[in-house]
């Protein structure tokens, strides 16, 4: 099987960097930011990878006929409202709320049926929305299951596997059963593709859970995709879960979800990177990154218990929050990079480090790139400001995680005869 991938919501190419490093070839990519006229991320992407087979356009306006067949579909799609207001029976599937980009992914899956799918999102996807915990993820799982995929998911903290940033994201790995009898159950959590890429132990909360309704064949069963997905969404809204049934890892197939809480298994003899490992020499840091108004930073990062007045109703209340490490520790992985990391204004969430000379400073874009595993100055273009570069890194993923998954996928494809490690007896 040829190892090609299609990269959606490509950003500046994090998936592509990781997959090409592990032996994959890019067949197509798409990146478009609707909220801005200047397409900085796409410009950076094309600077490094060229314009061939890249589309800088709204994915909703992209024809599936323009996308070549591929082995693996990847994307870090936005976390939005996945509720299905009503079934719309039309040739390309269903439509949820306007602008929800998940349905564009579904449209491509429906038409291209790639053997493998790898998606990345913030881990709150497993618990949203507030009034029906887990519904959004149940809709996503049901969509993938409808098209015949076994699905694994896992919340992975990059720092647990030696990377220099504490960044938790949920990875969703879906694949067509590539031999008779391939099933999913609790053992898939440790023995499946994600379990091979990032070893773990199941430690608590083991259970199975039935999602949705029967779908094809038989009296009273759902007969089309739109009606089925609508029924899942509607049923979840009625159940109104206060706690999501989805734990940090799981597997799903044929309507049954297996899930559990896990702990990472990492060989301590391997390299464990820290924030200090990515820092530039002090003499190479421009003066604008050093902090002068230290008192404002100390206040924002310090513990607070103070009376405040609500701007909504005028009532007085006590605002309380704990302290944030200040400066950030250099001997451990960094906190999660956020989109507001750039800019000179004081902030509770931005990283601040202390230099060997005792001065305090913010992180430079090149250091944020290193925390995500990108090559130095990957986002550096004349028209891209340092603040925008930081924003882009706040939206990016950790490249090394994708690289590791790419290696495991290559092994699975190349050793089909030995893929029985993905199949275990039911529990």
Rounded CA-CA distance 38/382 in Å is 13
Q: Is 4 helix (H, G, I), strand (E, B) or coil?
A: strand
User: The tokens of 329 are what?
Assistant: 């520790």
Q: What distance in Å separates the CA atoms of residue 125 and residue 84, rounded to the nearest whole number?
A: 16
User: Which pair of tokens denotes residue 357?
Assistant: 């000379």
Distance CA 394, CA 410 (A): 29
**Residue 50 CB contacts under 8 Å (≥ 6 apart), including other chains:** none
Structure tokens at 349: 């969430």
The residue from 6, 26, 57, 79 that is catalytic is 79
Extract the runs of DSSP E, i.e. beta strands, from 123-197: 150-157, 168-175
Q: Give the integer Cα–Cα distance in Å for 371 and 330.
A: 13
- CA separation for the pair 26, 70 (Å, rounded): 9
User: Residue 155 — φ and ψ, nearest 5°?
Assistant: -85, 120
Structure tokens at 3: 């190892």
What is the helix (H) or strand (E) element at residue 145, kind and residue range? helix 135-146
- How far is 165 from 159, CA to CA, in rounded Å? 5
Residues sharing a CB contact under 8 Å with residue 195, sequence separation 6 or more, in sequence order? 152, 154, 188, 189
- Residue 143: active-site member: no
Q: Are 176 and 121 in contact (CB under 8 A)?
A: no
The CA-CA-CA angle for residues 288, 290, 294, to 5°, reads: 125
Helix axes 135-146, 225-239, angle to 10 degrees: 160
Measured CA to CA, the distance from residue 273 to residue 161 in angstroms comes to: 9
Q: Kindly report the CA angle at 306 between 300 and 311, in degrees rounded to 5?
A: 90
Residue 349, phi then psi, degrees to nearest 5: -95, -20
**What is the set of active-site residues?**
79
């Amino acid at each position: 099987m040829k190892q090609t991938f299609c990269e959606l919501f490509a950003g500046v190419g994090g998936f592509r960097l990781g997959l090409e490093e592990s032996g994959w070839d890019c067949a197509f990519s798409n990146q478009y930011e609707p909220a801005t006229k200047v397409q900085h991320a796409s410009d950076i992407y094309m600077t490094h990878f060229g314009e061939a087979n890249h589309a800088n356009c709204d994915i909703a306006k992209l024809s599936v006929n323009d996308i070549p067949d591929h082995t693996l579909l990847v994307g870090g799609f936005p976390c939005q409202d996945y509720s299905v207001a009503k079934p719309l029976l039309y040739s390309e599937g269903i439509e949820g709320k306007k602008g929800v980009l998940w349905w564009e992914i579904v449209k491509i899956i429906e038409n291209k049926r790639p053997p493998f799918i790898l998606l990345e999102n913030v881990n709150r996807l497993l618990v949203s929305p507030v009034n029906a915990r887990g519904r959004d993820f149940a809709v996503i799982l049901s969509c993938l299951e409808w098209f015949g995929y076994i699905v694994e998911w896992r919340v992975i903290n990059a720092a647990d596997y030696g990377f220099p940033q504490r960044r938790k994201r949920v990875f969703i790995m879906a694949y067509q059963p590539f031999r008779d009898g391939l099933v999913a159950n609790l053992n898939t959590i440790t023995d499946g593709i994600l379990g091979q890429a990032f070893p773990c132990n199941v430690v608590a909360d083991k259970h199975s859970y039935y999602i949705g309704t029967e779908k094809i064949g038989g009296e009273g069963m759902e007969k089309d995709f739109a009606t089925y997905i609508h029924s899942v969404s509607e049923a979840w809204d009625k159940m109104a879960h206060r706690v999501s049934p989805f734990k940090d890892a799981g597997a799903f197939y044929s309507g049954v979800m297996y899930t559990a809480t896990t702990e990472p298994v990492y060989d301590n003899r391997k390299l464990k990177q820290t924030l200090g490992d990515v820092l530039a020499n002090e003499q190479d840091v421009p003066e604008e990154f050093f902090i002068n108004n230290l008192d404002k930073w100390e206040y924002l990062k310090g513990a607070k218990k103070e009376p405040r007045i609500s701007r909504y109703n005028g009532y007085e209340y006590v605002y309380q929050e704990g302290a944030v490490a200040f400066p950030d520790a250099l001997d451990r992985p960094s906190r999660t990079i956020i989109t507001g990391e750039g800019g000179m204004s004081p902030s509770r969430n931005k990283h601040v480090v202390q230099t060997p000379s005792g001065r305090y400073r913010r992180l430079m874009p090149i250091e944020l790139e290193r925390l995500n595993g990108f090559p130095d100055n990957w986002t550096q273009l004349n028209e891209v400001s340092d603040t925008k570069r930081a924003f882009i890194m706040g939206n990016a993923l950790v490249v090394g995680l994708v690289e590791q998954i790419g290696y495991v996928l290559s092994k699975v494809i190349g050793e089909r005869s030995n893929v029985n490690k993905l199949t275990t007896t039911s529990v």
